[in-house]
Amino acid sequence: MSNSNNPLVLGATGQVGKLVAMNLRSRGANFLVGTRRKTDLEALAEQYGASRYIDLDDPRTFDEALKDVTGVFLINGYTVDMLVQSKTLIDAASRNGVSHIVHLGAFTREHDTYLPVFAWHQMIETYLRDSGVAWTNLHPNMFMQNLLALWRVNGGRYSVYTSKPIGFAALEDVAEAAAVILMEGPEKHHGRDYWFSADALDPQQVAETLTAATGYKFTAEVRDHELLLKEMVLPAVSTFESAYAKGGIELFREVEHGRMAYIGSVADDTKRILGREPLMLRDWAKLHADELLEIASS
């Protein structure tokens, strides 16, 4: 790692970016965090050492935010705006001499992607590869942290919209890997696609794993994926963009029908990057047992 490394971490107020920043801080790295909330700048600087104002919807903020920055952890919100946000930021990174972009994508395969968000990530990655900036793409499968969403395990019932296996990745593994990649830089990681899917489990196996880890009896309920449309896109209850919500339905449909069966596969580069085994769901569930128990008993 070069002492001149100075990456910018986007999304530091969200789950992924926050963990990336915490891993960088714990390793003594020089880095900055970016935010579009000017009111958060001072607090973030106190927490992580340095912060920059950057609004992904306003490219006029990019040049100042990227001054003396050597790398960027690129993460977007899941809306179609991610396309223009990423393009304009990649352009600015190239213009400002940023040497490395680490992009958080999705668990995509070139010819087997039928979902809006997955396709958007592929378009970003294609543009990034042709940008002249060194790149690394991270491809996590279903985050284990999704099990902490209230509706997922409410009452101890794991609700899912496919009977087929799904691959899981721990956010802890992906965030730590991103931090190490940013620190080690493009000399080691340019042109690499890394995959994170450590544990492939069907619904019953998920319930049994949570039960064994927490001592609380979890059960599995496979629901009709078509019902997800009504649950996710109704204006009164949905916080998701319609294209993203529609993609959620299509994901489970394609997994259930076999066109995206690879979502249920194991393909994990955690050990390659970090030199340790990835967290399996049983390990992750033990770490988050209190949270799971709180949700299960609500």
Query: Residue 84 is part of a domain; what is its CATH number?
Result: 3.40.50.720
Please, is 62 exposed, middle or buried when counting C-beta atoms within 10 Å of its C-beta (0-12, 13-18, 19+)? buried
Mean pLDDT calculated for residue range 38-54:
96
pLDDT at 242: 65
Q: What is the pLDDT of residue 237?
A: 44
**Interstrand relation of 51-53 and 71-74 (parallel, antiparallel or unpaired):** unpaired
Tell me if 230 is assigned to some domain: no
Q: What total number of domains does the chain contain?
A: 1
Q: What is the mean pLDDT of the chain?
A: 91
Residue with tokens 């569930």: 285
CA terminus-to-terminus distance, the chain: 46
Q: How many other CB atoms are there within 10 angstroms of residue 16's CB atom? A: 22
pLDDT at 231 > cutoff 70? no
Domain assignment present for residue 32? The answer is yes
The H or E element spanning position 247 is helix 242-257
* 40 exposure class (CB count in 10 Å sphere: 0-12, 13-18, 19+): middle
Helix (H) or strand (E) holding 201: strand 199-201
Q: Does 92 reside within a domain?
A: yes
| Residues 33 and 21: beta-carbon distance below 8 Å | yes
Asked, for residue 285, whether it belongs to a domain, the answer is no
225 falls within a domain: no
Query: Residue 173 in contact with residue 198, Cβ under 8 Å?
Result: yes
Asked if 102 and 136 touch (Cβ cutoff 8 Å), the reply is yes
State the pLDDT at residue 225.
Answer: 72
Q: Which domain holds residue 117?
A: 7-141+169-198+266-277
pLDDT beyond 60 at 238: no
Percentage of residues in the chain with pLDDT exceeding 70?
Answer: 91
* Domain presence at residue 41: yes
Global pTM reads: 0.93
For 204-227, write each residue's pLDDT tens digit: 999 999 999 999 999 999 988 777
Residue 122 lies inside a defined structural domain of this protein: yes
Per cent of the chain over pLDDT 90 is 79
The rounded distance, in Å, linking the Cα atoms of 259 and 252 is 10
110 in a structural domain: yes
Residue 133 has pLDDT above 50, yes or no: yes
Task: Supply φ then ψ for residue 277, to 5 degrees.
Answer: -70, 150
Q: What is the pLDDT of residues 173-203, one digit of tens each?
A: 999 999 999 999 999 999 999 999 999 999 9
Lowest-pLDDT range of 78-87, 236-245, 258-267: 236-245
